[in-house]
Amino acid sequence: MRRKAKIYHKEKKRLYEVLDAQKFKLSSQKKHMEKSIDPSREALAQLKMEEAKYRFLLKEARRW
């Protein structure tokens, strides 16, 4: 039983690290878009994809 607890805490920590990295990536892309005069469709699609990744990771973190 102790081993499962270690794995649980290790994966939980890894999830929070990935979540933090994704949050930083999303915020930097949003800042870049705000400074952009005419962002391309690809850039807007990339931003939406990053937002979706962040929302998914946030939902996963809440489940834990």
Q: Each residue of 6-53: pLDDT tens digit? A: 999 999 999 999 999 999 999 999 999 999 999 999 999 999 999 999
Q: What's the CA gap between 42 and 55, in Å, rounded?
A: 20
- pLDDT score of 64: 77
Residues 6 or more apart from 14 whose CB is under 8 A from it? none
Is residue 26 within 8 Å of residue 51, measured between CB atoms?
A: yes
- pLDDT score of 30: 96
For the cut 80, the answer to whether the pLDDT of residue 5 exceeds it is yes
- What is the DSSP annotation of 23-63? HHHHHHHHHHHHH-SS--HHHHHHHHHHHHHHHHHHHHHHH
Report the predicted TM-score, pTM, of the whole model to 2 decimal places.
Answer: 0.84
